[in-house]
Amino acid sequence: MDLRSHTIKILAQTVVGDNGKSFYRSGPQLVDFFNELGFDDVYGHGFPTRWVYAEDKIKIILQQDRFLVFLNKFLDDSIYIDTEYETSEIVDYLNQYLKFDGYEIIKTGKKYQIKDLKTAQIIIPDECLEIISTEFLEEQIKKCDKKIIESDYDGAITNARSMVEEVLLEIEKEVTGKREKYDGDLSSLYKRVKKLINFDAGREGLDTCLKQILSGLNNIVIGLGGLRTKASDSHARVYKPCKHHAELAVNAAKTLTAFVINSYKYQKEKNLL
């Protein structure tokens, strides 16, 4: 993720509290703040100007692809209790600058995400990830968005499929109590999970419109499998995917993932599993 030097400077000035948009942080407080993000600095003689120190750390965080971790720590509502500052106002202020870099901070649930304004992007709600969440799944979600931003459209398609696979395997494990064998056939895996969560488009009594939607989801799964084979970095490519192909694959995978997770949650709450 690349930001203009001016945006990084605004971020640094906001973190240190020099622009009146956030509370003042002294040198030792800044060291503590960034050390909690993985640094190992010591405050002492020769410490640089506070905003310069913060700017250098933010540049490193961007290089490490840990900007979201930084944002969620900086915008943690709990640290602004009993202060005159509101995180929503800080976000609005920063977004004025980030939009010129093509990004926007948005809040989903209790966490913050970065929206790429150059990409048609769907975000999986936090509520879904609280139901089904693994380290691998969260990694695939991040990689999908990151690779589209970096124009790695082949990789984004691969991660989109991996995201769907992980959700289906995890739901199957939740229902059956064990992680079943998987040979890479996404359609077969989807059929197995559909039976477990009563997710059958041919079920009697199901509304026609819902049948059409569920049939469409079947086609998404089939399409993801085929697109990954023909246009991803996991096989010899038949054609090179464009940005809108990758966006379609990623957003379709996210929509399918969120719907399947919520369907599983509904069936579980109704004691139908």
pLDDT tens-digit readout, 190-241: 888 888 887 765 566 566 777 777 777 777 777 776 665 544 455 455 567 8
- 188 and 78 co-located in one domain: no
Is the four-CA dihedral 146, 148, 154, 157 of positive or negative sign? positive
Name the helix (H) or strand (E) containing 176: helix 153-176
Does any domain span residue 14? Answer: yes
**Helix, strand, or coil here: 6?**
helix
pLDDT of residue 245: 84
Per the structure, how many domains does the chain have? Answer: 2
User: Does 199 map to a domain?
Assistant: yes
pLDDT of 152 reads 86
What 8-state DSSP symbol labels residue 207?
A: -
**Tell me, what CATH number does 200's domain have?**
1.20.120.330
What integer pLDDT is reported at residue 233 of this predicted model? 52
Please check whether residues 202 and 132 belong to one and the same domain: yes
Point out which residues pair with 113 in neighbouring strands: 106
Do residue 91 and residue 141 come from a single domain?
no
Residues 50 and 146 occupy one common structural domain? no
What is the model's pTM?
0.58
Nearest to 2 by CA among 58, 83, 42: 58
Residue 122 inside a domain? The answer is no
Q: Which residues, including other chains, have CB under 8 Å from residue 54's CB and lie 6 or more apart?
A: 11, 12, 13, 15, 16, 30, 34
CA dist list (Å): 74 to 5, 10, 36, 47, 273: 19, 14, 11, 22, 41
Q: 117, 146, 178 — which closes off a domain?
A: 117
Q: Walk along the chain (273 residues) in steps of 10 and give the mean pLDDT of each run.
A: 94 97 97 96 94 97 91 95 95 96 84 76 70 79 80 87 90 89 87 81 64 75 65 55 85 86 86 75
Tell me what pLDDT residue 130 has.
75
**Structural domain boundaries enclosing 263:** 127-269
Determine the pLDDT at residue 231: 46
